[in-house]
Copies of this chain bind each other. A is one copy, B any other.
């Protein structure tokens, strides 16, 4: 069995969001198909992948560096021991040939997209949902049948005030979410205090609200916000400073006893390890948000989970960024703490299978082989041009 083709196509991500750093209307997304010669139900197995939001499509890098290395590798060198499926770790090694260590950005997205498609193909060849395949492979079959998801949003509405923000949060609760996340740092601290109190009026208690500064604070501002946030006992206080400023994160922990979260802008096991070594993160309460789709895929994420275990961290402290079905499958299969969700935005890539509603803040997974893309109609449609 072998990979016979890997195709990439760049498409826009439809979103009118703007956060502290970027205007998402300009974002692009790489879609990828890994075509195998394995037949299931009379058709060749094809795995699909895409990059999640916040970073750009990597079509040229995928086509020029990573695909040729995989397609030129001896097919036997990419198989599992039984020779009846792909070994994602071996495909990963083939992709990273002639790549120097360090410099984990963009490249990590290109590899992550292909890795996602490889895992989709592997689960389809194994004729299992990916989350069951992962649970069977790594956890003795112990899968979570439902995963905690929270609704990330809470945008600024400069023209409309806090009633528009409250309406947005009410919509998330109506969709079945128990926990929501809102942006902070885009206005003054006092204005953010008023926005937080407006959202708390809707969601009822601090444990149902997380806040996200998108990495924009210096230490002084981060501490000032920590003091302001304390009395609300929030779910977490996210990405206060620059993602690589571990000292800021560590010093902030001296000023904030509640949960903190970060990691969506760290793209390798080595970067994640530095956060754990130097960031003062607390395994009993803090949340790690590494996004496997942006970070060299699940092969690297497995290394990160091993590293976390060696440092005394439970996988339950991981709630990945990105709001996609890949991370959802990983969460259910490997026992993570949950998964992000962006209701309605980043379509067609954000969100989960059609017809499976969020209930009390948890979502179930489809039982189809693979990641479940076939059960999300608009995403499935977006992949079709790859098969043309």
Using a CB–CB cutoff of 8 Å, the interface residues on chain A facing chain B are: 21-23, 26, 28, 54-56, 59-61, 64-65, 98-108, 215, 242-247, 265-268, 270-271, 273-274, 277-278, 294
Contacts and interface: CB of A to CB of B under 8 A. Distances in A.
Contacts of A100: 21-22, 54-55, 215, 265
Nearest to A68: B26
Contacts of A270: 242, 244-245
B98 A108 contact: no
Contact of A98 (B22, B278, B294): B22
24 contacts: A21-B99, A21-B101, A28-B64, A54-B100, A55-B100, A55-B103, A56-B64, A56-B65, A60-B61, A101-B244, A102-B105, A102-B265, A103-B104, A103-B105, A103-B267, A104-B244, A105-B107, A106-B107, A242-B270, A244-B271, A246-B277, A246-B278, A247-B277, A274-B278
A242 B54 CA distance: 27
A102 to B, nearest CB: 3
A242 B105 contact: no
A378 B142 CA distance: 62
Query: From DSSP, what is the main secondary structure of chain A's interface residues?
Result: loop
Contact of A105 (B28, B108, B243, B266): B108
Contacts of A55: 100, 103
A274 to B, nearest CB: 6
Given A270-B244, A274-B246, A274-B278, A106 B61 contact: yes
A4 to B, nearest CB: 23
A274 B103 contact: no
B60 A59 contact: yes
A28 B166 CA distance: 52
Nearest to A56: B65
Nearest to A239: B101
Nearest to A99: B22
Nearest to A267: B103
Given A60-B59, A60-B61, A102 B242 contact: yes
Nearest to A65: B56
Nearest to A243: B102
A212 B59 CA distance: 34
Contacts of A267: 102-103
Contacts of A265: 100-103
B215 A102 contact: yes
A106 to B, nearest CB: 4
A108 B101 contact: no
Contacts of A246: 274, 277-278
Given A22-B100, A101-B244, 4 more contacts: A23-B98, A56-B61, A102-B242, A274-B278
A122 to B, nearest CB: 27
Given A54-B100, A107-B105, A267-B102, A274 B61 contact: no
A348 to B, nearest CB: 21
